A and B are shown apart, each in its own frame.
Chain A
Amino acid sequence: MDFLIFFDNDFKVVMPELYLFFAILILLSYGVVYSTSRIFNYPILQVNVGWLTVLTLTVSLFLLLSTPLTNVSVFNDLLIIDPFSNFIKILIVASSLCCILMSNSYLEYKLINSFEYFILILFAILGMLCLVSSNDLLALYMSIELMSLSFYILAAYKRNSEFSGEAGLKYFILGAFSSGLLLFGMSLVYGFTGLTNFEELSKVLTGIHSLSDTVAYNGILLGILFISVSLLFKVAAAPFHMWSPDVYEGAPTPVTAFFSIVPKIAVLALFLRLFYSTFYDFIGFWQPIFLYCGILSMLVGSIGALYQKKLKRLMAYSGIANVGYMLAGIGAGTVESVHGFIFFLVIYVVMNIGFFSFILGSFREKDSTLNIQLADLVNLGKTNPALGFTITFILFSMVGIPPFAGFFGKFYLFAAMIQSELYAVAIIGIFSSVVAAFYYVRIVKIMFFEVSPNYTSYKRMDLFNSLILASSLFFLIFLFAYPHPLLACIHKISLGFIL
């Protein structure tokens, strides 16, 4: 019984993760036992487990919001709980809650009858929560693997679609490859320093530049290179972005929504923790990596999307571009850049939630299929002007037009870059933002201005999709008027993180 007393306080602090873990186990066993029981006539527990998942996530959200302690490192320095990780965890759980609520009608129309979908999502969320608060290379690896394995299966979820299977396979191969690189990098770092803990690494690595000719120094550099490349794979930054349009297109749409919103939060927050507290002394080394990857991502994301005719691929490329902005923001290396990055991240999440709730809510009237082609949006301005205007405003926010929230996100990010005197990056970023305006405004054009006799009549959007769409629109339009709570929160977090 001694070990229970040993980790007594720690269990209280990791209550959200612990609760989530036990809830997953209970839901899984509940699902398995009851859906294979002959007595109850093999019920389909899809909707049941779905609502229980929503309950689980809501309770975890409440647990996260009422964390008793701040700035502790638990389990012998394996995990760290501080305001930054708490904020990111709240963001992850809240956005995945929105994703699950959005996907309700999809699952109903597509008759996906297995409850494992929700279990997998919950596992992925658990992985991400642990990832954000990881304080050790081993915790990092295990959380990333937990998250990624769930994603591989989710990408291939539609079993009768070879498209989906291909997407899952591609994602699996590339993801496994990048995990291998991650492991290699981590082993190099461990081999040359003997430590895996982030805090101890940061202490050991201060003043490391005096040893710049030794094998150990260069070994650690190589390790950092591998780790950063692997993480850039996971977040789909160029030049490691090849998998993301295909995987996004092949995976079922709610899974695509989940992919483009939530793992990016977790991995980018991990970037922040890894490179700002652990490897900050090597900033001369990783800053060019991030800046070049950022610039390349911005350019690839803006130019690549110009020819796309399918909505999901368009969102994949736009995700690449936005990740580019965030990487370039992280690469700046100052407190303002952390501030700008978190602000942009929150707004990016809200914009994507809004846009995906639109995509997931538009089912065609005649055969209940989801809309995937851009050309099917034609004449939406006439058939459903309220929806058309909502999407117009969300798209204008994505372009970065004032006074919508997207402009302020980009503004803070570019302001941080200018403050660190990265003028070239800021200029390229801003021009790629203008190029991106083309394809976003093209959607508006197709909806309102194109003269075509075709139109697609959509079913009425269900309750949750419309609520989520309306809330995100409200946030994007009115952030201009009252940004105080969000800014106060982010300010406090970024200062607490750096200092």
Chain B
Amino acid sequence: MFDSSILLLLIGLPLFGILVLFFIPDTKPDLQKNIGLITSLLTFLLSLKLWLQFDLSTPKYQFIDKFFSVPYSNMHVYVGVDGISLFFLLLTTFLIPVCLLASWDSIKINIREYSIAFLFLEAVLICVFTVLDVLFFYIFFEAVLIPMFLIIGIWGSRERKIRAAYQFFVYTLIGSVLMLLAIMYIYFQTGTTDVQVLTTVAFDYNVQIILWLAFFASLAVKIPMVPAHIWLPEAHSEAPTAGSVILAGVLLKMGGYGFLRFSIPMFPDASIYFTPLVYTLSVIAVIYTSLTTLRQVDMKRIIAYSSVAHMGFVTIGMFSLNIQGIEGSMLLMLSHGIVSSALFLCVGVIYDRHKTRIIKYYSGLTVKMPLFSMIFLFFILANMGFPGTSSFVSEFLVLVGAFKSNVFVTTLAATGVIWGAGYSIWLYNRVAFGNIRTSHITAFHDLDRREFMVFLPCIILVFVMGIYPEIFLNAMHVSITHLIEQVQ
């Protein structure tokens, strides 16, 4: 029915939900939560329609529609999806209802503003992943900061939340202003900011190097790569459960998307030139952050650091610049989006009950919370890269791709799998197995139906991705092949 403008409908639906939410009074908190959830579920169903009608045989952008035009300048903003952005879009629309459902009981103040913040975040994220214009990608990339800042600051868990919100905000801002200057330079040199045109422009080699570095400054903070990763553990551990879920699940992927959509196609020579830099930083990320998790006492921080390690793998895969590597990194981003989010949800389950995330208070949870322990185990194994789950497939593809390009880096990265196993199993051991520790906690309650429903789709997806990833890789093949051809 709305075939050609389905993307605009997708962007408009959460905004319509926000409008409806404004009129619901605070005497009906359940209605507020329900409207938020229903809107996000409708958006998810609509995005599934995108996937069903996706044409697998062409690398061109599909469902293109005109968003708007800036007067007096040559900026006509279109929205469209291709194989790369389709899955990020689906991940976003899948995770937002999960977030809203997961925070059903734990958010007690300003429920309406919470749903509004998440719906606004969803609309902006959909714009980020579908807009085909460099300047407006930047605008929506930055616009994500506002709702996240408010979510971490207002509904966060502890006193450090202010510092975490600040760090998140300022780190990302510093990195991205350099990208703004690069975009302005591109606009004045080429006269356009349209991605479809810019991928055909050949910049001069030295100019490419500087522009790539400017883009890298911003995307490296977002992904995050090692020297600029400090905001991530702070932001993750202080954010509310759903905030961490969406942060780990989608916001980190914006950096990866930026690399795939802008850095690599527009600056291919610079990408090849800087591959050793990216490899070095990624390997350091994998090994250093995996070892750092061994010292942590806060469960969320462990998972946050493991996110950095996984994103290190992602960047290794992306810059191997062959089809296995890039497909592996895309699938790893999807898989990590679901697995990390589910791990944060698990920690959120415990936090909701006992209000602490410190490991020493927990032990032997299997005795009293068997269902929870089983689900936790499943996701810990997925985090580790256990065969049968999606991360095994993706990490394997990444390592195969990287092996073709650089053996030493692959060896070091492969040790990352060992470290991953180390901290994941140790975390699970301390928390779930062993004797039940009743010195601090005396009452236990297993998962209730809502929480189980939150986990169920994640489990199914991880399983399906692990056993038959071709369903997901199908749509990516052509786009990624096209991307690699542009580099070659």
A: which residues have CB within 8 A of B?
A: 381, 396, 401-403, 407, 411, 414-415, 418-419, 423, 426-427, 430-431, 433-434, 437-438, 441, 445, 448-451, 483-484, 487-488, 491
Contacts and interface: CB of A to CB of B under 8 A. Distances in A.
Contacts of A414: 180-181, 184
A414 B154 CA distance: 33
DSSP class of B's interface residues: helix, strand, loop or mixed?
helix
Contact of A426 (B146, B173, B174, B181): B181
Contacts of A415: 184, 187-188
Contact of A437 (B165, B173, B178): B173
18 contacts: A381-B154, A402-B139, A402-B142, A402-B143, A403-B139, A407-B139, A407-B142, A411-B184, A418-B185, A418-B188, A426-B184, A430-B177, A430-B180, A437-B173, A448-B154, A451-B159, A483-B70, A491-B72
Contact of A434 (B72, B174, B181): B174
A441 B173 CA distance: 12
B166 A441 contact: yes
Contacts of B150: 448
Given A402-B143, A415-B184, A487-B72, A433 B161 contact: no
Interface string B164-185: 0110011001100110110011
Given A438-B170, A445-B162, A401 B181 contact: no
A488 B71 contact: yes
A292 B187 CA distance: 26
A431 B180 CA distance: 12
A465 to B, nearest CB: 23
A48 B173 CA distance: 50
B281 interface: no
Most chain B CB within 10 A, of A431, A441, A449, is at A449
Given A434-B174, A434-B177, A437-B169, A401 B143 contact: yes
Nearest to B180: A430
A485 to B, nearest CB: 10
B153 interface: yes
B6 interface: no
Contact of A445 (B70, B142, B166): B166
A477 B24 CA distance: 23
Nearest to B139: A402
Contact of B71 (A402, A426, A483): A483
A445 B71 CA distance: 36
Interface in B346-387: none
A381 B170 CA distance: 22
A434 to B, nearest CB: 5
A418 B210 CA distance: 14
B142 to A, nearest CB: 5
A431 B181 CA distance: 11
Contacts of B213: none
A401 B146 CA distance: 8
B107 interface: no
A391 to B, nearest CB: 13
Contact of A441 (B140, B169, B174, B178): B169
Interface of B: 70-72, 138-140, 142-143, 145-146, 149-150, 153-154, 159, 161-162, 165-166, 169-170, 173-174, 177-178, 180-181, 184-185, 187-188
A418 B177 CA distance: 13
B177 A433 contact: yes
A445 B143 CA distance: 18
B143 to A, nearest CB: 5
Contacts of A437: 169-170, 173
B184 A449 contact: no
Contact of B165 (A423, A430, A449): A449
* Nearest 8 CB-CB pairings of A with B: A402-B139, A430-B177, A418-B184, A449-B162, A449-B153, A415-B184, A419-B188, A402-B142
A449 B161 contact: yes
Contacts of B162: 445, 449-450
B71 A484 contact: yes
Contacts of B173: 401, 434, 437
A434 B166 contact: no
B142 A401 contact: yes
B180 to A, nearest CB: 7
B383 to A, nearest CB: 32
Contacts of A441: 149, 166, 169-170
A445 B165 CA distance: 9
B146 A411 contact: no
A411 B153 contact: no
A443 to B, nearest CB: 13
Contacts of B188: 415, 418-419
A405 to B, nearest CB: 12
Nearest to A392: B150
Contacts of B161: 449
Contacts of B174: 431, 434
Nearest to A441: B169
A470 to B, nearest CB: 15
Nearest to A437: B173
B153 A445 contact: yes
Contact of B153 (A403, A433, A448, A488): A448
Given A401-B143, A403-B139, 13 more contacts: A402-B140, A402-B142, A411-B184, A414-B180, A415-B184, A415-B188, A426-B181, A430-B181, A437-B169, A437-B170, A448-B150, A449-B162, A487-B71
A448 B155 CA distance: 11
Contacts of A411: 180, 184
Nearest to A451: B159
A488 B72 CA distance: 8
Contacts of B70: 483
A468 B275 CA distance: 54
Contacts of A407: 139, 142
A484 B72 CA distance: 9
Contacts of A419: 184, 188
A140 B277 CA distance: 58
Nearest to A446: B162
Interface centre among A396, A401, A407, A423 (most CB of B within 10 A): A401
B18 to A, nearest CB: 13
Contacts of B187: 415
A41 to B, nearest CB: 53
A441 B167 CA distance: 11
Contacts of B154: 381, 448-449
A428 B178 CA distance: 11
A168 B383 CA distance: 67
Contacts of A484: 71
